[in-house]
């Protein structure tokens, strides 16, 4: 995933930052985007470096709640890096250094004393390749809550009468129904998740993410490893989820972004956010020439 | 031969040619296994085979094969069969035949013609060069068949003409008397047969495939296949030999029926009840003393089982813990590299070194007077097993996909919980594999036990290590004591060593020391295989939890 990006970055950097003048022009274009209501996530002047590579340059954007925000752009443009900053998954990459501010409901994410457990409970993530644990479907769903101590179905709990098995069953059912996969796997909850098809695995991963009850769901190209039928199921699901959750989706596929998202941010090579606006506007009448070239397929 | 279907894709009718070539390949395989059987004296070189003296039969078969293979080459060269040879058999094959023919040239010049060292060098160089150029220069069908066929014919004639007869032997003159070496026909002939049948089989397999890419593939396939089969053959022969020799002594006096067996008191901390076994198996249930009719190895079996259990209990938690630290927590760098090199080196350290360490460090520590003990033996073997557990557990954890760790981290689960609930279960089959391999080694280890555990080689059944019974509770520290652990115990490999080497058996009432030794070896084999079975079942259990079937 993002490990591959730094290499692409270095070649692209020189071409993107030709003059300071273009940077200014682009900046004015996107910063006007405004929406009604509070921002769920608010990013301010975010810079990310992988060693010497400047992977993300001075990105600022506000993400409204209960909507789908698509991040599009060519490979290596920093969109996955941006996504992984929102739940601090980039902390896991040793070479990455992050500068700037990300606020979740007005609370700064990058400050001392942030509880990563709580942060990642509220900001869940779904990855490009389906990555269910090699456990039963039920265990996959209950994994997060059990590890957070919200569910206890262990032997000791059963003996002492504090058994949460019923809550767990309800949770499994709710999560799988929300992920639109309950009907397909209802009677095989104790089978190993590795036996599901790719599309089912990905919806299971979404259900696993929903089980910890997040506010925001980050998805890193969630359908790029799937066939068209599974992809359309995932897309329908994303649109449904946006009624209750704030969804941020990274995608390569511009048609997908146009279909499912409410607003779209276009990253271009060099790690800049070039334009961020309503999806219709981005695809029909973008401000920036470069974005128009990109969405019409002339470039990228 | 050529028919309407003879195109570049579909070859014409080659059934006769292929049948003969396949028969030659089969003959080569049979000869190879005859040679292999002769090395372990299943086929006697001095006896007869198929009605003729063994060497005559082998010689006839070799000549027949050699002529057949050379015939394939010549017929293919004349275009009688539709084959697809390359321009040359290649430098590797050339080098091989240069070596084989050079060796023959040197030996013949020096020994048969009596030309001395100079003659040996000259003869070796000349025939080696001939072998090389005969292989590498002509077209592939000639180059890979004629030198091979000639080799088989040469050895066949050597056997047929009686140059090497059943009683033949050769003592190279250059060795001083004290280091005299003698080659006997029983040693040399099987290897000559195996070498020539390998090269002839290879050539015949190439001919069967019509040379070219397909022929080379089949030639290589034959060599690999024979290699694999002979490895399995050696293994089977070894086990069969031990079973054959040990079965009699082990099963002597076995009785089955209610109440025939010995009574056992099962108990822990003083409570117990008696059961009477429905089987009487003296070799497995008796110890050795002057009063037992059939001496047995029961105390040694118990000792070995406790040793393995102790070593595994000691090394698995430590080893897996170290592997977790090295893979998941430690910064990958110089430190982890050094640890990795150290663990690898530790695993290849000779076991006697561990034994010396145990003797110097552990033996004096558990008792007022230095005393070899079961506990010292367990800890020493545990230290021996430790590096392998670290190495395999580390490999297994590295092989766990990072996607699982990412997924767990994205759910807000802490690193340690991720390791415990995701990484370790996924790595478990690999860890168990490592333990299985290690147990095989330590269960058969003798040298460290010699120095750390001792124990008489012939111990009465009553003197076995009663570890479970030995636990005693007390009100003062250390609260639980077990004198059984600090006493000398015996184990199967140690007992085997004593019986075979020192022949101490007669004084302890063992009538046939050799038979007793073979019986012990068979029991040791059985115990190790039983541990393997337990390990494989465990691995299967962990694996079944990871996969969908």
Task: Examine the predicted complex and report whether its ipTM is higher than 0.85.
Answer: no
CB-based contact, B118 to chain A, within 8 Å: no
Say yes or no: A158 contacts chain B, CB-CB below 8 A: no
Backbone angles phi, psi at A266, to 5 degrees: -105, 120
Burial of A19 (0-12, 13-18, 19+ CB in 10 A): exposed
Range name among B118-132, B141-155, B494-508 with the lowest pLDDT average: B494-508
3-state SS class at A267: strand
Of B407, B408, B412, the CB nearest to A121: B412
- For CA atoms B133, B139, B144, B149, the dihedral sign is negative
**At residue B312, does pLDDT exceed 90?**
yes
pTM: predicted TM-score of the whole model, two decimal places: 0.77
Query: How many Å lie between the alpha carbon of B421 and the closest alpha carbon of chain A?
Result: 9
Which residues 260-289 of A have a C-beta within 8 angstroms of B?
A: none
| Residue B124 to residue B54: CA distance in whole angstroms | 29
Q: Nearest CA of chain A to the CA of B406: how many Å?
A: 8
**Beta-bridge mates of residue A277:** A264
- Please check whether residue B410 touches A, CB under 8 A: yes
Is the pLDDT at B403 greater than 80? The verdict is yes
User: Which positions 411-430 of B are in contact with A (Cβ < 8 Å)?
Assistant: 411-414, 417, 421-422, 425-426
What is the phi-psi region of residue B116: left when phi exceeds 0, alpha when psi lies from -120 to 50, beta otherwise?
Answer: left
SS3 A35: coil
Tokens of B511: 């009538």
Q: Does B399 touch chain A (CB under 8 A)?
A: no
pLDDT > 90? residue B185: no
Residue B404 has its nearest CB partner, among A121, A131, A148, at A131
| Average pLDDT over every residue of B538-543 | 90
- For chain A, the average pLDDT equals 82
pLDDT at A83 over 60: yes
pLDDT in tens, B245-260: 888 888 877 777 776 7
Give me the mean pLDDT over the A268-284 stretch: 84
- Write the DSSP symbol of residue A109: S
Cβ–Cβ < 8 Å for A257, A279: yes
Chain B interface, best mutation among A131, A221, A248, by max B CB count within 10 A? A131
Contacts A124 to B, Cβ<8 Å = 410-411
**Which of A47, A89, A68 shows the shortest CA–CA distance to A216?**
A68
The Cα–Cα gap between B107 and B113 comes to 9
Chain A contact set for B549 (CB, 8 A): 195
Residue where the block lists tokens 């682009």 = A26
Any idea what the Cα angle at residue A81 is, between residues A80 and A83, rounded to 5°? 60
What are the tens digits of pLDDT across the range A163-216? 777 788 888 999 998 888 898 888 888 888 998 988 899 999 999 999 988 999
A191/B414 Cβ within 8 A: no
* Between residues B320 and A289, the one the model is more confident about: B320
Mean pLDDT of all residues in chain B? Answer: 83
Kindly report, residue by residue over B54-113, the tens digit of the pLDDT: 889 999 999 999 999 999 889 888 887 777 888 888 889 999 999 999 999 998 888 788
| Torsion angle (degrees, nearest 10) of CA A241, A246, A248, A254 | 60
Is residue A10 scored above 50 in pLDDT?
A: no
Q: Could you tell me the pLDDT band of residue B157, with boundaries at 50, 70 and 90?
A: very high
pLDDT exceeds 80 at position B507: no
- Pair of tokens at residue A207: 């259900």
In terms of pLDDT, which residue wins out, A27 or A221?
A: A221
Closest chain B CA to residue A87? B410
The shortest C-alpha distance from B544 to chain A (Å) reads: 9
Average pLDDT over residues A244-254: 90
On whether any CB of chain A is under 8 Å from the CB of B409, the answer is yes
Judged by a CB distance cut-off of 8 A, whether residue A188 touches chain B is no
When pLDDT is cut at 50, 70 and 90, the band that residue B395 belongs to is very high
Q: What is the mean pLDDT of residues B214-239?
A: 88
CB-CB neighbours of B202 under 10 Å? 27
B5: pLDDT strictly greater than 60: no
Q: Is the pLDDT of residue A32 over 60?
A: no
Residues of A in contact with B413 (CB under 8 A): 117, 143-144, 147-148
* Inter-residue contact A27 to A52 (CB < 8 Å): no
- The pLDDT assigned to B287 comes to 74
Chain A residues touching B408 at Cβ < 8 A: 133, 143
Q: Which chain A residue has the Cα nearest residue B412?
A: A117
How close, in Å, is residue A180 to chain B by CA atoms? 20
Peptide bond before residue A199 is cis, with ω within 30 degrees of 0 = no
Q: What pairs with residue B452 in β-bridges?
A: none
Residues of A in Cβ contact (< 8 Å) with B545: 134-135, 192
CB pairs under 8 A between A and B: 76
């Amino acid at each position: 995933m993002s490990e591959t990006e730094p290499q692409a970055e270095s070649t692209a950097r020189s071409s993107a930052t030709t003059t300071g003048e273009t940077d200014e022009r682009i900046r004015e274009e996107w910063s006007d985007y405004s929406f009604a209501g509070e921002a769920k996530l608010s990013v301010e002047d975010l810079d990310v470096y992988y060693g010497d590579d400047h992977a993300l340059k001075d990105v600022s954007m506000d993400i409204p709640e209960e909507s789908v925000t698509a991040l599009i752009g060519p490979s290596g443009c920093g969109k996955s890096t941006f996504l992984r900053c929102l739940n601090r998954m980039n902390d896991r990459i040793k070479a990455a250094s992050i500068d700037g501010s990300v606020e979740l409901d007005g609370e700064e994410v990058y400050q001392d004393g942030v509880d990563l457990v709580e942060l990642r409970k509220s900001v869940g993530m779904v990855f490009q390749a389906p990555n269910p644990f090699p456990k039963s479907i039920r265990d996959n769903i209950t994994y997060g809550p059990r590890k957070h101590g919200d569910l206890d179905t262990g032997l000791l709990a059963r003996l002492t009468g504090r058994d949460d098995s019923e809550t767990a069953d309800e949770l499994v059912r709710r999560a799988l129904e929300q992920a639109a996969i309950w009907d397909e796997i209802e009677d095989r909850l104790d089978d190993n998740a590795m036996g599901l098809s790719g599309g089912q695995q990905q919806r299971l991963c979404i259900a696993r993410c929903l089980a910890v009850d997040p506010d925001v769901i980050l998805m890193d190209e969630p359908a790029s490893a799937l066939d068209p039928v599974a992809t359309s199921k995932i897309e329908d699901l994303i649109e449904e989820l946006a009624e209750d959750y704030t969804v941020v989706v990274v995608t390569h596929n511009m048609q997908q972004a146009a279909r499912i998202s409410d607003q779209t941010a276009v990253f271009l090579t060099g790690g800049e956010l070039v334009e961020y606006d309503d999806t219709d506007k981005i695809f029909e009448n973008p401000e920036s020439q470069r974005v128009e070239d990109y969405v019409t397929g002339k470039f990228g | 031969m050529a028919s309407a279907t003879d195109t570049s894709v579909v070859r014409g009718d080659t059934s006769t040619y292929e049948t003969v070539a396949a028969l030659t390949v089969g003959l080569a395989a049979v000869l190879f296994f005859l040679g292999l059987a002769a090395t372990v004296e299943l086929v006697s070189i001095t006896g007869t085979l198929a009605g003729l003296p063994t060497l005559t039969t082998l010689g006839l078969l070799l000549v027949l094969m050699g002529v057949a293979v050379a015939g394939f080459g010549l017929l293919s060269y004349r275009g009688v069969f539709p084959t697809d040879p390359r321009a040359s058999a290649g430098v590797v094959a050339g080098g091989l035949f240069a070596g084989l023919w050079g060796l023959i040239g040197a030996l013949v010049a020096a020994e048969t013609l009596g030309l001395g060292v100079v003659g040996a060098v000259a003869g070796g160089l000349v025939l080696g060069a001939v072998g090389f150029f005969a292989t590498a220069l002509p077209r592939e069908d000639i180059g890979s068949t004629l030198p091979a066929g000639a080799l088989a014919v040469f050895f066949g004639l050597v056997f047929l003409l009686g140059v090497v007869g059943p009683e033949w032997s050769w003592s190279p003159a250059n060795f001083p008397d004290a280091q005299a070496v003698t080659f006997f026909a029983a040693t040399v002939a099987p290897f000559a047969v195996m070498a020539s049948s390998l090269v002839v089989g290879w050539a015949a397999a190439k001919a069967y495939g019509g040379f070219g890419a397909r022929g080379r593939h089949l030639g290589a396939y034959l060599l690999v296949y024979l290699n694999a089969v002979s490895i399995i053959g050696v293994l089977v022969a070894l086990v069969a030999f031990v079973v054959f020799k040990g079965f009699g002594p082990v099963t002597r006096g076995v009785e089955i029926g209610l109440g025939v067996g010995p009574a056992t008191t099962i108990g822990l901390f003083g409570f117990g009840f008696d059961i009477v076994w429905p089987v009487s198996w003296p070799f497995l249930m008796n110890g050795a003393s002057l009063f037992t009719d059939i001496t047995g190895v029961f105390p040694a079996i118990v000792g070995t089982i406790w040793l393995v259990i102790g070593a595994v209990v000691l090394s698995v938690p430590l080893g897996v813990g170290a592997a977790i630290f090295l893979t998941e927590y430690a910064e990958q760098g110089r430190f982890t590299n050094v640890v990795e090199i150290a663990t690898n080196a530790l695993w290849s350290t000779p076991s006697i070194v561990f034994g010396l360490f145990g003797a110097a460090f552990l033996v004096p520590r558990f008792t007022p007077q230095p005393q070899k003990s079961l506990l010292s033996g367990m800890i020493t073997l545990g230290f021996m097993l430790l590096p392998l557990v670290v190495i395999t557990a580390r490999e297994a954890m590295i092989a766990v996909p990072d996607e699982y760790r990412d997924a767990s981290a994205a759910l807000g689960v802490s690193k340690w919980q991720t390791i415990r609930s995701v990484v370790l279960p996924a790595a478990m089959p690999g860890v168990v594999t490592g333990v299985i391999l290690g147990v095989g080694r330590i269960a058969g280890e003798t040298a460290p036990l010699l120095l750390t555990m001792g124990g008489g080689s012939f111990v009465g059944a009553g003197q076995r290590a009663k570890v479970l019974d030995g636990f005693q509770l007390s009100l003062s520290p250390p609260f639980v004591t077990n004198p059984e652990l600090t006493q000398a115990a015996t184990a199967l490999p140690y007992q085997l060593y004593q019986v075979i080497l020192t022949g101490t058996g007669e004084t302890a009432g063992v009538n046939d020391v050799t038979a007793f030794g073979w019986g012990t070896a068979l029991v040791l084999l059985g115990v190790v295989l039983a541990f393997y079975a337990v390990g494989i079942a465990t691995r299967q259990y962990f694996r079944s939890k990871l996969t969908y079937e």
